[in-house]
Amino acid sequence: MGALTIHDSIPIPTTTSSMPRLGFGVYQLYGQHCRQAILAALAAGFRHIDSAQLYRNESEVGAAVRQSPVEREQVFLTTKIRAAAGSPEKTYQSALDSVNRVGGAGGYVDLFLVHIPGSSREAREELWKALERLHAQGKAKAIGVSNFRVQHLEEMKEYACVWPPHVNQLELHPWCQQRDLVQFCRDNGIVLQAYSPLSRGEHLGDEALGAVAAKHGKSPAQVLIRYGLQKNWVPLPKSGNPERIKQNADVFDFALDDDDIKALDGLDQGPSGALFPANVK
């Protein structure tokens, strides 16, 4: 694992695409602040940006990438759709509008996710069919889900033409490891993305984490990102601070050993360790 670099990517099974191993999240970043954060992330070496309709910043993501000297083809752009819009055609149009906001008119996104499973099987099917349509048109190079449990993934077999979904984006960090779900995804070739890999800073003062950080001369946040990489997740750290953005990218000059991984694995609190408990039930 020590040979990992910020330029490394992970193949997305059953597609011709690959995804950079480290991504940049833009939740709660808006307007010019969002654009500046993305430009800072691209300057720091990030080539993977994660947005969503819910975040209300898809247009800023697209504008920042177009403003950047980095070629569009070198940047992996993700967005998500949260809710069906009332009919299959309206839901498809909602998703297509997102593609145009992020990728520009006539453009594409590299990954489009269903943001949450919600409570309705009919809505899940309608959302997935919209993404399958975009995928078939080349407007979404890969499609996946977020916060889907095993039962939701199994249920998809009843209505999906594309199964397994290419990606499942989950809350993943040492205190919320979702091991059974992670294993199911691994067994079925579903790439795992980790949102809130820094646990929103809630555990940065943890003693065990601090000991690992001190051992390597790194910050607790850098250790958490490295942990996600070595678990073969795709971490999506978020920051609006240019210095922290650079630090979050600086995780490729050290590697955690077996003792470090064991110590961090031992922090798992199951569902009670989740920042978003409704998504892990």
- 159 catalytic per annotation: no
Rounded Cα–Cα distance for residues 200 and 216 (Å)? 22
The amino acid present at 97, given as its one-letter code, is: D
115 is in an annotated binding site: yes
Rounded Cα–Cα distance for residues 265 and 175 (Å)? 8
Rounded Cα–Cα distance for residues 214 and 132 (Å)? 46
In which region does residue 124 sit, left (phi positive, over 0), alpha (psi from -120 to 50) or beta (all else)? alpha
Name the active-site residue from 27, 30, 55, 92: 55
CA-CA-CA-CA torsion sign (159, 106, 13, 72): negative
Rounded Cα–Cα distance for residues 49 and 20 (Å)? 10
Q: Give catalytic residues, as residue numbers.
A: 55
**Residues annotated within a binding site for substrate:** 115
